[in-house]
Structure formats: structure tokens, C-alpha cells
């Protein structure tokens, strides 16, 4: 499995070759790969890689190998739902294999992981098609946060998918990207990705968002999500909640874009979403050098939760969901 090391962007494009669940888990934990849909794909591939390694041994215990790989990968990032969703799907496929030969099990699990990736590619395109309806035909300035583009998915992204399709169809779209402290995913990843695609992108510090909205320089906000609760509360990169509050104050639509695999019907509300707390060094040592006292206490939640009442609509691969979200989500998840 090869992936682009996102920790090296934007200055270097370095591809890593991963051959085990442990290597995939390490890449996820240190954010060499990130973005909820991409993490689901990576976790599925990690399981398949580990089963392939075990099957080459003289006495393969694939059930034990699967359980260990699943537990390891599941422990890496607790907030996002796609990772757990993909591992559960891989588990169903593994159980369906029954007593088949190891080579057949590996082939089945590899095919399932590949299918998860392909389905996400198609889901991104559908999110883009539905999201395009939300962009005014004469063009718009869209504010986005963190990275919910191709780097975070198996396709063209979630929040930026409508932007890519607008460009394809000649609809003028300007994009404002918040830098997204402390790891600068907006600056390092989204600005790099969109600029490379030839889009009109402007980078701003996160604290500029309110002023830009007040000046009428933002028409709508679109972000991705790492987990959406059954009631429509949405967890996304820290800072998203503040954007939603600002958007509501200034009368600007706030949209969340995500595939159905990001929705967790077993999580009743945002209060039930575990929020990952990351290392204090990420805040103390910004921009490659010490930027705070070494002994200062740090709170570094990686995500926050935007209440459903602040979300204008949720754009999914099955259509646009609008309030009341409980009923809309339940209907969308029906087989």
C-alpha cells in the first residue's frame, strides 16, 4: 500500500510504502494519513495487509490476526466514525468467509478494502453533485476549514467536491481557507491541493473568519465531518464550531458535507462523541520551533462538535439532508 505522507506537505511529496497493520496504524496516529474517509480506507487496507502477512506463515491463525489488527487500528483515532465503520464492514466480510483457505480469505478481504475505496470515490462525486445545488450560479466565495478534499478521501473530497465540480462547469468560485491551527491542515494541505488544481484560493489566519464575514466577503461555509451523530450534531476539526456560530450571527449558510459512512446512528448526540486530545507539543512547537513556554499547560482537543441547530444542511452521497435531522438521517440510512 502506498500513500502520500501528508506531514511532509507542502514542501515535499514523499510516498510511503506500508506493508503491515502496525505501519498503517503508525501512519494514522501521527497523521501521515488523515481525513475521516481516508482513514476508513487505510484501516481496511491495513487489515488486508496483515492477513496477507499472516497467510504466508506456516501456521496461520487468521482469526487471531484479524482481531489484533482490528484492535490496533481502532485505537488510533477515536473521534472519526469512518475508521470504525470500515473495520466493522471488514469484520462482516471476514466472518462470511467461514472456513475458507487462507489465500481465499486474503483475496476476499483485499477485494472488500478495494471496494470501500472505490465506493468512497463515487460517494465524493455524488456529494459534489448535490452540493453544487447550494452554490449560486453566478459564483460564490466559500469558506472552508481544515482539509476535506482529495487528500482526505478516496475521491475529490467532501466539502470541496462541489468546488471542483463548479470549476469543471465554468461556475466561478473563490475559496477562502482558514489555516487550521495547530497542525495547519488548511495552510499545508487545502491551500496546496486547491492551488495545484488551479482554483482561486486565499489563505487566512483562523481568527480572520469573523471579520471577513462581517465585511460580506463570505457567501457560505462548507466543512467536512469526522462523525455525525443521529441527531445531526457534527464533530469536525477544532475551530469548526466557532465558524458555525459566526456564520449564524452573520446570516451565512453553514453546510456539512460527508458520506453516509460518517454518520453514526449508534451515537445519539454530539455529547456522546469522544473527542481526541492530542499532544501538547503540537501547540507549544508551532512552525518547527518553540513558540510557547516549555512548561505551559496545553489543552489540545483535535475536534469540536457543532450542534445540529447551527447546521443549515448536511450534504451526503444520498442527497441533501435538512432539519429535523433525526428523521432525515434515519430515512437516509434505510437500506
Grid coordinates given for 130? 448535490
In angstroms, the Cα distances linking 308 to 230, 268, 316, 323 are: 10, 12, 15, 8
Whether residue 220 sits in one domain with residue 134 = yes
Can you give the residue range of the structural domain that contains 28?
Answer: 2-125
On whether both 102 and 234 belong to a single domain, the answer is no
The pLDDT of residue 288: 76
Query: 114 and 248 in one domain?
Result: no
Helix (H) or strand (E) holding 236: strand 234-237
Joined grid coordinates for residue 138: 453566478
Can you give the pLDDT at residue 166? 95
The pLDDT assigned to 301 comes to 97
- Number of domains the chain is built from: 2
pLDDT at 34: 96
Instruction: Examine the fold and report which residue of 125, 147, 167 is the final residue of a domain before the chain moves on.
Output: 125
| pLDDT in the model for residue 42 | 98
Spell out, as residue ranges, where the chain has pLDDT lower than 70: 58-59
Say yes or no: 150 and 271 in one domain: yes
- Beta pairing class for 313-316 and 254-257: parallel
Enumerate the β-bridge partners of residue 176.
143, 202
Q: What sections of the chain are H helices per DSSP?
A: 21-29, 36-55, 62-74, 82-96, 102-132, 161-168, 185, 191-196, 209-214, 240-249, 281-284, 325-332
Give the pLDDT confidence score for residue 139 in this predicted structure: 81
Q: Is 170 left (phi over 0), alpha (psi -120 to 50) or beta?
A: left
Give the whole-angstrom CA distance, residue 262 versus residue 78. 13
Residues 28 and 132 grouped into a single domain: no
Same domain for 114 and 150: no
CB contact burial 40-60 (16+ within 10 A = b; e otherwise): bbbbbbbbbbbbbbbbeeeeb
Last residue of a domain, one of 89, 110, 125: 125
CATH of the domain at 321: 3.40.50.10470
**Burial of 250 from C-beta contacts in 10 A (0-12 / 13-18 / 19+):** middle
Is 152 in the same domain as 301?
A: yes
For 190-199, write each residue's pLDDT tens digit: 999 999 999 9
Q: What is the pTM of this model?
A: 0.95
Instruction: Pick the last residue of a domain from 81, 98, 125.
Output: 125
What's 82's domain CATH number?
1.20.120.420
Q: What is residue 59's predicted lDDT score, i.e. its pLDDT?
A: 61
- The grid coordinates of residue 230 equal 443521529
Cell of 96: 462470511
Question: 234: part of which helix (H) or strand (E)?
Answer: strand 234-237
- My answer on whether 283 and 158 are in the same domain is yes
| Of the candidates 56, 49, 54, the residue with the CA atom closest to the CA atom of residue 27 | 49
Looking at the fold, whether 312 and 255 belong to one and the same domain comes out as yes
Tell me how many helices (H) and strands (E) the chain has.
Answer: 12, 13
Tell me the sheet residues that pair with 3.
16
Q: Which pairing describes strands 227-229 and 220-223: parallel, antiparallel, or unpaired? A: unpaired
Question: Residue 187 and residue 170: Cα distance in Å, rounded?
Answer: 25
If asked whether residues 119 and 35 sit together in one domain, one would say yes
Whole-angstrom distance, CA of residue 230 vs CA of residue 217: 33
Closest CA to 113 of 60, 44, 163: 44
Residues 76 and 184 in one domain: no
Q: Which residues are catalytic?
A: 226
pLDDT (0 to 100) of residue 100? 85
- Do both 240 and 311 map to the same domain? yes
Residue corresponding to grid cell 470515490: 121
Amino acid at each position: 500500500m502506498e500513500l502520500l505522507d501528508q506531514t511532509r506537505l507542502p514542501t515535499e511529496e514523499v510516498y510511503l510504502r506500508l506493508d503491515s497493520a502496525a505501519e498503517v496504524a503508525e501512519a494514522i496516529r501521527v497523521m501521515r494519513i488523515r481525513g475521516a474517509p481516508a482513514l476508513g480506507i487505510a484501516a481496511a487496507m491495513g487489515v488486508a495487509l496483515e492477513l496477507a502477512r499472516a497467510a504466508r506463515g506456516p501456521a496461520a491463525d487468521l482469526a487471531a490476526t484479524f482481531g489484533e489488527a482490528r484492535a490496533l487500528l481502532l485505537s488510533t483515532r477515536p473521534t472519526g466514525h469512518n475508521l470504525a465503520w470500515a473495520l466493522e464492514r471488514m469484520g462482516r466480510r471476514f466472518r462470511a468467509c467461514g472456513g475458507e483457505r487462507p489465500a481465499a480469505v486474503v483475496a476476499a478481504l483485499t477485494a472488500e478494502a478495494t471496494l470501500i475505496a472505490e465506493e468512497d470515490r463515487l460517494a465524493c462525486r455524488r456529494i459534489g453533485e448535490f452540493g453544487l445545488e447550494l452554490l449560486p450560479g453566478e459564483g460564490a466565495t466559500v469558506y472552508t476549514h481544515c482539509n476535506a478534499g482529495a487528500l482526505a478521501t478516496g475521491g475529490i473530497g467532501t466539502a470541496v467536491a462541489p468546488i471542483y465540480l463548479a470549476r469543471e462547469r465554468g461556475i466561478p468560485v473563490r475559496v477562502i481557507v482558514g489555516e487550521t491551527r495547530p497542525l495547519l491542515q488548511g495552510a499545508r494541505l487545502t491551500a496546496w491541493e486547491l492551488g495545484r488544481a488551479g482554483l482561486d484560493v486565499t489563505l487566512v489566519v483562523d481568527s480572520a473568519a469573523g471579520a471577513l464575514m462581517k465585511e460580506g466577503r463570505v457567501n457560505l461555509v462548507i466543512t467536512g465531518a469526522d462523525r455525525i451523530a443521529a441527531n445531526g450534531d457534527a464533530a469536525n476539526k477544532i475551530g469548526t464550531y466557532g465558524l458555525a456560530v459566526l456564520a449564524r450571527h452573520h446570516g451565512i449558510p453553514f453546510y456539512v458535507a460527508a458520506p453516509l459512512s460518517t454518520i453514526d446512528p449508534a451515537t445519539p448526540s454530539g455529547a456522546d462523541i469522544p473527542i481526541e486530545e492530542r499532544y501538547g507539543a503540537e501547540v507549544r512547537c508551532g512552525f518547527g520551533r518553540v513558540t510557547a513556554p516549555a512548561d505551559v499547560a496545553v489543552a489540545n482537543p483535535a475536534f469540536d462538535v457543532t450542534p445540529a441547530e447551527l447546521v443549515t444542511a448536511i450534504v451526503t452521497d444520498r442527497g441533501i439532508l435538512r432539519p429535523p435531522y433525526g428523521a432525515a438521517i434515519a430515512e437516509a440510512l434505510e437500506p
